[in-house]
Each structure stands twice: as structure tokens, then as C-alpha cells.
A and B are shown apart, each in its own frame.
Chain A
């Protein structure tokens, strides 16, 4: 691993970005690493744009990540992932669920949701490491509806060596308690995709 591994998680409030961030932070603690996390939340309890920032490694001063320098971007939603694209640089790994969550402006017919291809192009223009995972669908397949976030984490762990599988699973158990079983299943499923 690099001295510092930095992750941006972009999604919509309620999609499990904050839980994901807590799990990664806890796994880092269990691995004896320094951690820093922070987020940009906005005013809504649910349904607004949410970005979380996580840094793990050594000499972590702040969780904030410089533009173009994230080690990874976990996109829980394509519009939000594109919004976070300024953090993506040539070496950033992007794992993305391309299934859109329309905004209220889309639903009320005031604005169209941008074409998915356009959103993907924004990311592709920044990095060639874009991994598309139909996380929500895959989660439904294994009957773990709420665990799309874990599927994406599994995918990221399978392509980049940030934390050990054991420490992540330990962290999932600590953070999620009795909901951990399904989440671990989803995490493992994600590693195989």
C-alpha cells in the first residue's frame, strides 16, 4: 500500500456511504493504521448529495483529499460520482454502480437526468481504471438489498490492495452487529465480480 490511501465515496444520502466510511475506518484501525474521515453532508437527512472522504495509512493530517489525487472513488450513484470526478486522476481506481437515482427535478419533469454515457465519459476522461458494477442489482440477486455499498467495497478490495479481507470483515461485524452477516456475504460477492 502507499503511505496514504485516500478514498472518496459519492452517493445519495441513505445509500450507505457513511456506513461504508465507518467500516473502512474501523478496518484501518484494526490494521494498526492511522485514519481520518470526514464528509460533505448538506442539509437533508436523506436524499441529498453526500461525499465522504477517508484517508488511511501513516501521517494522516486531514481527511480532505486534493483534487485529482484520490486513490479510489466509490460511486454509489453515477451523477454523484461524476460530481466527485474532480478528485479523480489518472491513477485513481473508480468502482461505480451506474444505476441512477433521479433527482426531484427529474421526477417532476423540470430537468432530464443526464445520459449515463455522458456521466461515464466524464470519469473515463480522467482515468482508465473505471470498473462498472451493477451493485444494487447484484445485491438484490443475493437478497441483500441494502448492501450495494458492500458489493462495491468488495470490488475495490479485489482490484486494489488497501486493507486485508479479514480486517474488513472484522470491521463489518463490529460496525453492523447483527446485520453483518448479509453485508459480509455481499462484500464477498463483490470481490468475485
Chain B
């Protein structure tokens, strides 16, 4: 028998543990909330020496991560690739062709959607990727199921010889709950590769057609396998049916339980959400009087179930998102109670916003201060030179006091959209700001395009040497990975210079005047100019130990607020019309000191260096 352990785990930790229980051999992904903690957890275990044989590392982007895992699954390793919803768009090219080639050993694709959204540019419903890629998709509803489904996912994947999509949402990834886990298995395989052109080569169209045909056949096998392993469950015996999956199931159960009406309902909880288990659903539809579909984001299950009922010519009322639920935003237990029992939902009162700030001593503060000053020194007004933003912490520069960026779209888009504005004839200078990791992920190709077409833009790469926003993961610039693996760091300057860009400068993000001077100079020049504004992330600096902080001499402080208005640093606070620095928050970056017109801010060394 397996040894069991009872723990309290976050959904993402449970997925990591599930992969280890399944003997996963290769894990890759790109950080993205709410998916990141799966690989974070595995890297931490690797760093502590608790995982030895499994390869686990962050990749440069989701597409590369996907292909790394696909390659691994062709030679016998069970693999896991993780990403947030927009990440599956990046990986969609290999995703869709992988269904035609299939795999040898189990491959799991974790895609974490973010209804709400809490931290994502769209409320994308990645369930539609099942139809698009024709890859089976399973969805757990709790940390315990996240653990079990990860293991089952590998079994199903190997039976079908297809990658399986494990689809989750924030309320499964980031929820913490009780989980019983079994022992981990070391990966146990001998790498082999069997040539099979028809499967692995997409260059012959007749083969592609044939593989498509075979894929469609394979999809018929999914439901029986899912039934065998118990992915879809029917609970209760009432005559009102509810069909749901994922986090929605939890809200349904809670509302029925709390209102003591479990007996009136019969619940079909789907673990397999593509292809839909049609037989199971038909059976269910024939035993209830009406059906309510409870789901988040798009009416995905609803449309498919209505279609099925139509095909079966069943005369049954089916209601779902379209009739009973709000059209956007996260589903909550209140929504379910409202839909089932007609209870009104208490509204939130409207209160002043708390715009999320940059951290105290964030290097992006200095870059934005410099950018602002540089633009005005070059003879333009702040607010007339578009600053195209990108995905990362620096997008918080949209908030006061900077209100810096004009767009934030998709990974790498800052540079290509800036180029688009220029080739369309936009007269004012255009600036693109992009973080180091986002630059590696997708900015490089955009920069090559801009250089090749000789467009007039200024690109500021904000290099804080980490993937900060998602919790400080490694970038291709690392020489040692978080797991302790030795890496070949790539050099940002060399990459940029190798493109033949003449004007490339590296500036210190914590010296806002240095940034400003370069911005001024470069805005007057033609062609693509690149400023690498470098400064370590404040969180990392704090982790490795703060050596100094700043404090305010209240005798000198006039309360002019220049420091707050220019830096926006959250460590600065107002006390009796003067400024005081929260010592526990300050990271001693000196940006406030650099702008205080009265020299009221002073450095205090915490320890000698």
C-alpha cells in the first residue's frame, strides 16, 4: 500500500505533488498568475535536494516550454507544462499540432484561467481550446482533486497517446485546503525515440488529413476512459438537475447544504469537460425535470448541453449563464444562491480606490521619474509622448503619480505597437517600456522587426533581473537557477547590440537624472535606440538584506511633498503636514532624497559594508 500523508495545500502545490506522485520527468512553463506556484513549489523541492531526477525549470516563454515538454513526452518522460490563460495563446501553435502527433509518455498542459479577472488582461475562457485543439480537457474543483486529476491525467494521456489539458481557475489554483497525498515516485524511464514520420511530421498533407481522422476517432475513446476512472460523478436524487464543474461545483454544494435542499437536486459534476461525456449527460438529462448549468466565464457547458438536448430531441428546460447568471466577473456562492433561490445579492458600497503602487524602492520609480524628466527636457510635454507599456510590475506606472503608460496589451506588444504607430505616420516620438523577462519572452522578435525596418522609437528595457510580478522567478539572465542548476546566462546588452543598434545605453535606474539625460539625448536621435535601465527589484534587495534606509529631518522638511509627488513611494507617509519615512518599509534607494529640494532626507546606514 501507498504511504499517505494529510496536509493543508494550495491547489498549485497539490498539482506539483500530484506530478511528483506520477513520477514526472520534465517540467517547464512560464510564470503567470494564478499558475506560477506549481513550478515554484517544484523548484523549491529541487533546491532542497528532495527532487533529484526530474528536470524542472522556467522557460523563456510558453511556446518554448510547451515544445520542451512535447519533446520530452516523445522520448518516454512524463512531462508537465504550466501557464496562465494568455500563455496558452502563446503556446497555441504547437498545442494544436501536438494533437496530430500525440505523445508516447503522459503530457499534461496546465492552463490557469482567471475569472474576475484578478490579475489577467482578459477573462479568457480557455475551455474553448478543447474544441480548437481537439485535446481532452479535465477540470478539478479542489486542491484534493487537483492532486488526483494530475495523476489521472497522466494515465488518460498515456491510454490515448494524447496530451491532456488540465484546466483550472484562480479559486482552484490559489485555494488552500486539506489534501491527502501518496508517496512520490522517481521518474523511471529509458529515453527512446521511435521514428514515425506519419505521426511526427506535418509536412505531408495526406498524412495530416489521416491524422486528423484518427484524432477524431480517438476522441470517442475519451468518455469510456473517463468513466472508468470516475471523472464524472452524479450526486443526489432530486428531480432538478444541476450540471457543473470546477469551482462552481463547490458553490453549488455549499448553497444546497446550507439551505438544507440537497434532497431536491441531482448534481452532475463533470471532471471531463472536453469532449463532453455525452452518454453520461444524456442519461442525466433523462432523469430530471429541468437542468441548471452552473459555470464561470462563458456559457461553454451550457451551449454544448443545449446542443446535445437538441440533437437528442429532448424536451427539457435547460438554463444557465444566459438566463440566470451575470455575464462577466467571477462566480460566487451568492450568484449561485441567487440563481437557485432567487435571493438578492448584497451590493458592495463604493469607496475611494486604493490604486496598487510600486513597492518602496522599486527601480521602476526611478525609471519613470527619469523618463518623465527626459521627455520634458527633450522639449515635449509629459502626456504628449505616448509611452507604450507591457506586461509586468511596471504596468503599475499607469497609476499616480506617474500615469506613465498609455497602453498595456500582450507580452512584447510595447515595441511592436510603438513601431505600428510610427509606420502609420504618428509624428511625436514614441517610447516603449518593457521589462527584462517580457523582453526575452516576446520583445526580442519585436525589436528585431523595428531594427530591420529602421523605425524611430525609443525602447526602455526596465531590467530588474527577475520576473517580479508573478513572485520573482528566474529569467534567461540567471547564472544559477532557483533549483541550484548551473545556467549559461544570456547578456541583455550583447543581445541588443548584436542587432546592430548603435545607440544602446545602460543606466542606473536609481539615478533618475542619469535616466533622464539618456532619454533626452536619445529622443533627439533617429532609428531604434535602447536604454537598459537597470536596478534590482526592491523585493529581492530586501530579501538579500537592506544596508541603508532614509529618514526625514523634521527641522528641514517643509512639507512641500515633492518627494511623494515625484516618487510615489509607499514608504513615505504624511505626519502633521510633514513627511516621515516608514523605516520598516524603506529600502534605502535614495530616490526621494534625490528630489527633496530642502535636503531634508538623509541616509542612515544600517550596517557597514
Contact = CB atoms under 8 A, between A and B. Distances in A.
B203 interface: no
Interface stretch (A104-112, A149-157, A160-168, A177-185): A104-112
A64 B177 contact: no
A82 B565 CA distance: 27
B298 interface: no
Q: Is the interface of B mostly helix, strand, loop or mixed?
A: loop
A49 interface: yes
Contact of A114 (B352, B395, B570, B584): B352
B353 A44 contact: no
Contact of B176 (A37, A49, A85, A114): A37
A30 B53 CA distance: 33
B564 to A, nearest CB: 5
B171 A62 contact: yes
Contact of A34 (B178, B249, B564): B178
Report the contact-size class of chain A (Cβ under 8 Å from the partner): 35 or more
B391 to A, nearest CB: 11
B396 A79 contact: no
B359 A46 contact: yes
B71 interface: no
A12 B399 CA distance: 17
A40 B118 contact: yes
Contacts of A13: 356
Interface in A52-72: 59-68
A62 B357 contact: no
Contacts of B247: 62
B345 A25 contact: no
Contacts of A63: 175-177
Contacts of B395: 43
A107 B356 contact: no
A19 B277 CA distance: 42
Contacts, number: 151
Contact of A45 (B171, B393, B573): B393
B119 interface: yes
Interface in B313-340: 332-334, 337
Contacts of B358: 44
A90 interface: no
Given A43-B395, A47-B570, A48-B357, A37 B352 contact: no
A124 interface: no
Nearest to A46: B359
A173 interface: no
B468 interface: yes
Contact of A60 (B177, B352, B357): B177
Nearest to A83: B351
Contact of A107 (B176, B333, B349, B573): B573
Contacts of A105: 352-353, 355, 400
B359 A103 contact: no
Interface of A: 12-14, 22, 25-26, 29, 34-49, 59-68, 79-80, 82-83, 85-86, 102-111, 113-114, 122, 145-146
